[in-house]
Amino acid sequence: MYGYFDPKGIRPCGWLKTQLKIQANGLAGNLNKIWPDVKDSAWIGGACEGWERVPYWLDGYIPLAYMLEDPEMITVAEKYVNTILDKQEDDGWICPCKPEERQKYDIWAFFLIGKVLVLYYEFTDSKKALKGLYKAMKCLHRYIVEERRIKLFDWGEHRWFEAMIPLQFLYSKHKEKWIFELASELRTQGTDYNNLKEHWKRPLNIWTQDTHVVNIAMMLKYESVCHQLLGYKLKNEAEDLWRHIEKYNGTAVGIFTGDECLSGLANNQGSELCSVVELMYSCEIIYAVTGKNVWADRLEKIAYNALPATVSDDMWTHQYDQLANQIACQIMPGPKVHFRTNSGQSHLFGLEPNFGCCTANFGQGWPKFAMSGFLKSRGGIIAAFMIPSELSTKIGGKKVRIKTETDYPFRMSCKYTVTADDPVEFTFKIRIPKWVIAFKVNGEEQKKSDYYKIHKTFFGKEEINIELITAPVLKTRQNGLKYLQYGALVFALPIEAEYIMHEYVKDGVERKFPYCDYELVPKSEWRYGFADETFEICEKEGDTYPFSSKNPRITVKAKMARVEWDYEDGYESISAKEPVSDRAISEARTMELIPYGCAKLRMTEMPKVKIKAK
Ligand SMILES: [Zn+2]
């Protein structure tokens, strides 16, 4: 339905550019200097991991480098991609393994590097990357379709649809039958998630591919990425799948629980960071392909809440698992940790808590979101997300520039400036989030709709000022608990934290400031409930970090009262799923809730308390 613009024409600005710079100066921008699995990867001739980690990292590093126009980072990206292409075998095989190991090599990484080469080509027009991609996919066709020497298994079997992204791209360049054949064969051999729905209704304490939260976050887009190449009719399966997973494993911030397999509805269960960024990417694609606004609303909720919450302000450390009610991030002693399939330190902020996949993969979140601000429609431009950025493109051969200036989601207004040097007729559509009560354009109230649409001949400079009108609301979760949402932001009660630093070396990997591990120990009371539903929005200056845990740009004053609330049975640093009672045990007092994305220790789901009559 919608298409992507050439990413070379998109420039992040404002807080989004600041966020991307923080990422570039943090872990994702420096893994090539400090982390053996990227620095000394087998992909570039080293002795370390030669599977998903370098392609995962490049998938975020490439758009970050080019969108920030950072010459040093661009040199690094070029070096990695060119080395990978230089090491490609004559028959097209591109992954680092010996010829005799090919049949045992899980080709999920093959799909992933294909996706990375497409991304690299989009930013560089590199003929070498295009040629390498063609050779690589042709080689895969030979192995899988012609000679049937590789059969999908494990990750490749469960993530088969990711190959559609490079294959669809190749097909747009070369209309050759083998591309379709390979896509069809992958579809035949790959997992059909529609058959697995029964497994998602009840969380298990065993690890399976079929309930793996990252696989599930990724697979939602399978129909969207298949339909063009394989000629599928879009049946809106993603919507059914989403609703089913959300019903049994949803959270307040739009992600699913899964540490790392689906973990139910409890607010004290974890969600893996890889699933956060993969869910964002799925929503981006599904929205672009189906044009259904609900996917854009879902994406905003995840991007502005779940993503910043699970990464430190400076983006040097991250969690493997985040919890909605996260009263502590402390190592769980003893053999039986609270998580279902992860270790007892999965919720620490660190270099690679639990496992290193998120370390490599989390970097795709912000840059890909930044690439999705504008979408192409037939005969026009969609302002899909109110993120500060600038688009330069051409319509009918004439230059058009659109600049989005906004502090959304911290503020509710946005200024679009459309500039056309020559008269050019097109439709400019601005997406309006579903939760608005009303909205104004240049001061005038409009009829509520999914888009504000202008069709005209643009010439010169034109400003369009949008103002969204909404109010803070309490929404209901499992066990009748409530959480507070205002616009795209979820607000949580912050808990003061003492940071305990751990610097150490494990399996040859060094944790050293600023990429060390931290335990977060609670230093303030967390057992509260909402005393009423009157809330006061406080807009603040904040500090240099858009999602600052110390000085958030927006807070909400709320009346809160203490309740009786225990720890989860058998644990000293995990809150029980619900309070003992929703009766207030203190007077109500005004407290400041901050964005979920800013609160590293927090209570998100709390009861609406019953106050004793005086
Ligand atoms: Zn991960």
pLDDT in tens, 112-123: 999 999 999 999
d(CA 603, CA 592): 12
pLDDT one-digit tens code per residue, 263-278 = 999 999 999 999 999 9
Would you give the DSSP letter of residue 107? T
Would you give the DSSP letter of residue 409? T
CA of 112 to the centre of ligand 1 (A): 15
pLDDT at 446 over 80: yes
pLDDT at residue 611, as a whole number = 87
- Percentage of the chain modeled with pLDDT above 90: 97
CA of 153 to the centre of ligand 1 (A): 19
CA of 571 to the centre of ligand 1 (A): 25
CA of 255 to the centre of ligand 1 (A): 14
CA of 317 to the centre of ligand 1 (A): 14
501 is written with which tokens?
């630093």
CA of 146 to the centre of ligand 1 (A): 34
Q: What average pLDDT does range 564-592 have in this prediction?
A: 96
Q: Which of 593, 2, 606, 17 is nearest to 305 (CA)?
A: 593
What pTM did the predictor assign? Answer: 0.98
pLDDT at 614 over 70: no
147 is written with which tokens?
């000679």
d(CA 186, CA 160): 6
95 is written with which tokens?
């992954």
Q: Which of 228, 280, 223, 222 is nearest to 253 (CA)?
A: 280
Q: Give CA 306 to chain center in angstroms.
A: 8
CA of 392 to the centre of ligand 1 (A): 35
pLDDT at 182 over 80: yes
CA of 574 to the centre of ligand 1 (A): 22
pLDDT at 151 over 90: yes
CA of 361 to the centre of ligand 1 (A): 7
Q: What average pLDDT does range 125-133 have in this prediction?
A: 98
pLDDT at residue 262, as a whole number = 97
Average pLDDT, the chain: 97
pLDDT at residue 613, as a whole number = 66
CA of 213 to the centre of ligand 1 (A): 10
CA of 355 to the centre of ligand 1 (A): 7
CA of 274 to the centre of ligand 1 (A): 4
CA of 176 to the centre of ligand 1 (A): 35
User: In this structure, are residues 53 and 356 in contact, taking their beta carbons and an 8 Å threshold?
Assistant: yes
CA of 322 to the centre of ligand 1 (A): 12
Cα dihedral sign, 319-43-166-382: positive
Instruction: For residue 520, give the 3-state DSSP assignment.
Output: strand
pLDDT at residue 258, as a whole number = 97
Q: What average pLDDT does range 497-503 have in this prediction?
A: 98
d(CA 199, CA 210): 8
CA of 292 to the centre of ligand 1 (A): 28
pLDDT at residue 445, as a whole number = 97
User: In this structure, are residues 406 and 414 in contact, taking their beta carbons and an 8 Å threshold?
Assistant: yes
Q: What average pLDDT does range 342-359 have in this prediction?
A: 96
pLDDT at 96 over 80: yes
Q: Give CA 121 to chain center in angstroms.
A: 22
CA of 35 to the centre of ligand 1 (A): 16
CA of 440 to the centre of ligand 1 (A): 41
CA of 350 to the centre of ligand 1 (A): 13
pLDDT at 284 over 80: yes
CA of 278 to the centre of ligand 1 (A): 10
pLDDT at 233 over 90: no
pLDDT at 133 over 70: yes
Q: Taking the domains of the chain in order of start, what are their residue ranges?
A: 1-190, 375-406+413-469, 473-603
